[in-house]
Amino acid sequence: MNDAESTAAVASDTADPPAGPPIVVADDVHRTFHIGSSRIEVLKGVSFEIQAGERVFLCGASGAGKTSLLYTLAGLEKPNQGRVLIDGKSLYQQSRREQARVRNRRMGYVFQNYSLLPELTALENVMVPAMIGGRSDLERARHLLDHVGLADRTTHLPPELSGGEQQRVAIARALMNNPAMIFADEPTGNLDSKTGAEVMDLLLDVVAEEKRTLLVVTHDTVLAQSGDRRLELADGRLVG
């Protein structure tokens, strides 16, 4: 990574982000872990906003705090200090039940290791978020698998699918409940460069067509150029 890349907090070759209130706000977010007697401060006062419809890429070296920041914004790790606002409401000041409702209905997740349930078919995996919410929409699940190019793989189990196909199932699953926001943690990290590029192109295309907001954690600065905006995290802080 060159000096210009390592100090750039925001980089965009596209149009300005949509106007309106931000969908996600990080307000002086701190995250600390304790390992034995050691105290490790992973996030050190991170503040920024994401507008509805934006595709934001979060970059940085290994250990910079990227995944911790994404998990904190996604309702999966409570900050030690600071606030996370989703749709203008403080996420971690809500009850656990309400936080779970927000995660299920307003957020979708794509992880590096796919996180598919091995005993469920591709179609059943896609339907999991709806079933957690007490709903069932087989037609939408089939539509989403078709949308990601897997209409002929609905009955296959994850071990019967390639890595790229499993990540496509994960993308379809993330969209199942019509979430406003998609969080993707190194979604191409387990894929070869060609398959990774294809999966990223698909994710960007589907998010645009479904009119969703996207935050992607990646160490790949080339992939990060595909978004509307790039943020750089170093030693727990946004830099630039």
H, E, C per residue of the chain? CCHHHHCCCCCCCCCCCCCCCEEEEEEEEEEEEEECCEEEEEEEEEEEEEECCCEEEEECCCCCCHHHHHHHHCCCCCCCEEEEEECCEEHHHCCHHHHHHHHHHHEEEEECCCCCCCCCCHHHHHHHHHHHCCCCCHHHHHHHHHHCCCHHHCCCCHHHCCHHHHHHHHHHHHCCCCCCEEEEECCCCCCCHHHHHHHHHHHHHHHHHHCCEEEEECCCHHHHCCCCEEEEEECCEECC
Query: What does the pLDDT read at residue 240?
Result: 61
CATH number, domain 17-238:
3.40.50.300
Query: What does the pLDDT read at residue 9?
Result: 38
Query: What does the pLDDT read at residue 69?
Result: 97
Query: What does the pLDDT read at residue 26?
Result: 97
Q: Where are the domains of the chain?
A: 17-238
Query: What does the pLDDT read at residue 3?
Result: 42
Query: Could you tell me the two tokens for 138?
Result: 């087989």
Per the confidence metrics, is the pTM higher than 0.75? yes
Query: What does the pLDDT read at residue 199?
Result: 93
Query: What does the pLDDT read at residue 223?
Result: 84
Query: What does the pLDDT read at residue 10?
Result: 37
CB 199 within 8 A of CB 168: yes
- pLDDT tens for the 240 residues of the chain, in order: 444 443 333 333 444 444 578 999 999 999 998 888 888 999 999 999 999 999 999 999 888 999 999 999 999 999 999 999 999 999 999 999 999 999 999 999 999 999 999 999 999 999 999 999 888 899 999 999 999 999 999 999 999 999 999 999 999 999 999 999 999 999 999 999 899 999 999 999 999 998 999 999 998 888 888 899 999 999 999 996
